[in-house]
Structure 1
Amino acid sequence: MTKYQLPKHPESYWRENMNIPDFPPLDKDIEVDVVIVGGGITGITSAYLLANEGMKVALLEADKVLGGTTGHTTAKITAQHGLIYDELIKSLGKNKARLYYEANRDALNFIEKTIHQHQINCDFRRQDAYLYAENEEYARKIKQEAKAYEKLGIDGEIVDKLPLDIIIRNALIMRNQAQFHPLEYLSHLVQHFTDKGGHIFEGTTAVNVESEKEKPVVQTRENKRVTASYVLACSHFPFYEGMGFYSTRMYANRSYIVAAKTKKSFPGGMYISAGQPTRSLRSVTINGEEMVLIVGESHKTGQGGNTMKHYEALASFGEYVLGMEEIPYRWSAQDLTTLDKVPYVGEITSHQPKILIATGYRKWGMSNGTAAALLLRDQVLDKENHYHALFTPARFHVHPSLKNFFTQNADVATHLIKGKLDITDTNPKNLANDEGAVFRMNGERKGAYRDDKGELHIVDTTCTHVGCEVEWNEGEKTWDCPCHGSRFSYTGEVMEGPAEKPLQTYDFKMLDIATSEDSGY
Structure 2
Amino acid sequence: MTQPKLPDDSQPIWFDEASIPTFQPLTEDQTVDVAIVGGGITGITAAYLLTQQGLNVALLEASTILNGTTGHTTAKITAQHGLIYDELINKQGYNPARMYYEAQTDALQLIEELVQNHQIDCHFEKQDAYLYSTSGEYKNKLEKEYQAYDHLNIKGNLENQIPFNVTIENALSMKNQAQFHPLKYLTHLVNLITQQGGKIYEQTTAVDVEDAHGSAVVVTREGFRIKANYVLACSHFPFYEGTGMYFTRMYASRAYALAVKAEKPYPGDYFLSVDQPDRSIRKSYLNGEEIYLIIGEGHKTGQGEGMMKHYKNLKRFCDKVFDENSYEILHRWSTQDLTTIDKIPYVGAISKKRQNVLIATGFRKWGMTNGTNAAQLMSDIVLGNLNPYEQLFSPSRFSADPSLKKFFVENLDVAKHLIKGKMEMPKTQIDDMNNDEGAVIRVNGERKGAYKDKEGNVYVVDTTCTHVGCELNWNESERTWDCPCHGSRFSYTGEVIEGPAETPLPQHDYKMLENFNFNKKESGY
Q: TM-score, normalised by structure 1?
A: 0.98
The offset of 1:212, in angstroms, is: 5.3
Alignment check: 8 A CA contact 2:132 2:271 kept: yes
CA-to-aligned-CA distance 1:231-259 (integer Å, 9 cap, x gap): 00000000000000000000000000000
Partner of 1:406: 408
> Which amino acid is 1:79 matched to?
A
Residue aligning to 2:50: 50
Partner Cα distance (1:116, 1:453) in 2? 49
SS in 2 for 1:394: helix
User: Could you tell me how far 1:125 is from its partner in structure 2?
Assistant: 0.5
- Residue 82 of structure 2: aligned partner: 82
Once the two structures are TM-superposed, the CA of residue 264 in structure 1 deviates from its matched residue by 1.8
State the 1:304 CA deviation. 3.1
Q: Please report how far the alpha carbon of residue 95 of structure 1 lies from its aligned counterpart in structure 2 after TM superposition.
A: 0.1
Is the CA contact 2:242–2:350 (under 8 Å) kept in the aligned structure 1? yes
Q: 5+ unaligned residues in a row in structure 1: which ranges? A: none
The 5-angstrom pairing of residues 301-312 of structure 1 reads: 301-312=301-312
Is 1:437–2:448 an aligned residue pair? no
2:516 and 2:213 mapped to 1: Cα distance? 50
Tell me, in whole angstroms, the C-alpha distance in 1 between the residues paired with 2:351 and 2:211: 11
Instruction: Report what 1:337 is aligned to.
Output: 339
Partner of 2:484: 482
Structure 1's consecutive aligned runs of 4 or more residues displaced over 6 angstroms after TM superposition are none
Q: SS in structure 1 opposite 2:215?
A: coil
Deviation at 1:165, TM superposition (A): 1.3
Report the 3-state secondary structure (helix = DSSP H, G, I; strand = E; otherwise coil) of the residue aligned with 1:390.
coil
Alignment check: 8 A CA contact 1:250 1:339 kept? yes
Question: Which residue matches 2:523?
Answer: 519
Is residue 110 from structure 1 mapped to residue 115 from structure 2 by the alignment?
Answer: no
Which residue matches 1:385?
387
CA contact (8 A) 2:463 2:471 kept: yes
Give 2:256's aligned residue.
Answer: 256
Distance across 1 between alignment mates of 2:304 and 2:57:
40
State whether residues 440 and 446 of structure 1, in contact with CA within 8 Å, keep that contact through their aligned partners in structure 2: yes
| Structure 1 SS opposite 2:294 | strand
Matched residue, 2:219: 219
Partner of 1:230: 230
Residue 520 (structure 1) shift = 3.2
CA distance in structure 2 between the aligned counterparts of 1:392 and 1:378, rounded to whole angstroms: 14
Q: Which residue of 2 aligns with 1:187?
A: 187
Residue 457 of structure 2: aligned partner:
455
Q: Compare 181-190 and 506-515 and name the one that shifted more.
A: 506-515
Q: Tell me the CA shift for residue 398 of structure 1.
A: 2.3
Asked if 1:168 corresponds to 2:168, the answer is: yes
CA contact (8 A) 1:340 1:397 kept: no
Change (3 A) 1:356 1:462: same
Provide the rounded CA distance (Å) in 1 between the counterparts of 2:417 and 2:524: 22
What amino acid sits opposite 2:451 in the alignment?
Y
Q: What letter matches 2:523 in structure 1?
A: S
- Deviation of 1:439 (Å): 1.1
Letter in 1 for 2:206: A
Q: Is the 8 A contact 1:440 1:519 kept in 2?
A: no
Q: Distance in 2 between matches of 1:171 and 1:398?
A: 34
**Offset, 1:63:** 0.6
- Displacement of 1:299 after TM fit? 0.4
Cα RMSD between the aligned structures? 1.1
How far residue 453 of structure 1 moved from its aligned partner, in angstroms, is 1.8
Alignment match, 1:273: 273
Alignment partners' CA distance in 1, 2:146 and 2:308: 36
| Other-structure match for 1:59 | 59
Letter in 2 for 1:22: T
Give the structure 2 partner of residue 318 of structure 1.
Answer: 318
Deviates more, 1:212-221 or 1:115-124: 212-221
Tell me if the contact between 1:30 and 1:225 (Cα under 8 Å) persists in the aligned partners. yes
What is the CA–CA distance in structure 1 between the aligned matches of 2:270 and 2:316, rounded to whole Å? Answer: 19
- 1: CA distance, partners of 2:195 / 2:220: 25
- Structure 1 CA distance for aligned equivalents of residues 272 and 523 of structure 2: 49
Q: Secondary structure at the match of 1:332?
A: strand
CA distance in 2, matches of 1:192, 1:421: 53
Q: 2:51 corresponds to which letter in structure 1?
A: A
Deviation at 1:3, TM superposition (A): 5.2
- Aligned counterpart, 2:134: 134
What is the aligned partner in structure 1 of residue 357 from structure 2? 355
Asked if structure 1 preserves the Cα contact closer than 8 Å seen for 2:17 and 2:287, the reply is no
- The residue aligned with 2:40 is 40
Is there any run of 5+ residues in structure 2 with no aligned partner, and where?
Answer: none
- 1:472 counterpart residue number: 474
CA contact (8 A) 1:129 1:173 kept: yes
- Structure 1 stretch displaced more, 33-42 or 207-216: 207-216
Same amino acid, percent of matched pairs: 58
Q: Relative to structure 2, which stretch is displaced further, 32-41 or 311-320?
A: 311-320
Distance in 1 of aligned mates of 2:159 and 2:103 = 26
Q: Report the equivalent of 1:285.
A: 285
Aligned to 1:417: 419
For residues 105 and 284 of structure 2, the distance between their equivalents in structure 1, rounded to whole angstroms, comes to 22
Q: Describe the superposition over 1:39-86 as per-residue Cα deviations: whole angstroms up to 9, x where unpaired.
A: 000000000000011100000000110000000000000000000000
| One-letter identity of the residue aligned with 1:71 | G
Q: Residues 130 and 270 of structure 1 are in contact (CA less than 8 Å); yes or no, is this contact kept in structure 2?
A: yes
The alpha carbon displacement at 1:373 in A equals: 0.5
CA distance in 1, matches of 2:478, 2:242: 31
Q: Secondary structure at the match of 1:436?
A: strand
Aligned to 1:494: 496
Residue 45 of structure 1 aligns with an amino acid whose one-letter code is T
1:257–1:294 contact (8 Å) kept in structure 2:
yes
- Name the structure 2 match of 1:10: 10
Q: CA deviation at 1:399?
A: 2.8
Q: CA deviation at 1:161?
A: 0.8
- Aligned counterparts of 2:94 and 2:67: Cα–Cα separation in 1: 37
Question: Which is worse superposed, 199-208 or 310-319?
Answer: 310-319
1:416, 1:23 → 2: CA distance? 39
Residues 1:146 and 2:146 are matched in the alignment: yes
- Indicate the residue corresponding to 2:294 in structure 1: 294
Question: What residue is the counterpart of 2:399 in the other structure?
Answer: 397
Q: Normalised by the size of structure 2, how large is the TM-score? A: 0.98
* Matched pairs, number: 520
219-228 vs 504-513, which moves further:
504-513
Contact 2:445 2:524 in 1 (8 A): yes
Equivalent-residue separation in structure 2 for 1:304 and 1:184 (angstroms): 34
Residues in 1 aligned to 2:443 and 2:263: alpha-carbon distance in whole angstroms = 50
The whole-number CA distance in structure 1 between the counterparts of 2:353 and 2:153 is: 37
Q: What amino acid sits opposite 1:411 in the alignment?
A: D
Letter in 1 for 2:281: L
Equivalent pair of 1:265/1:322 in contact (CA under 8 Å)? no
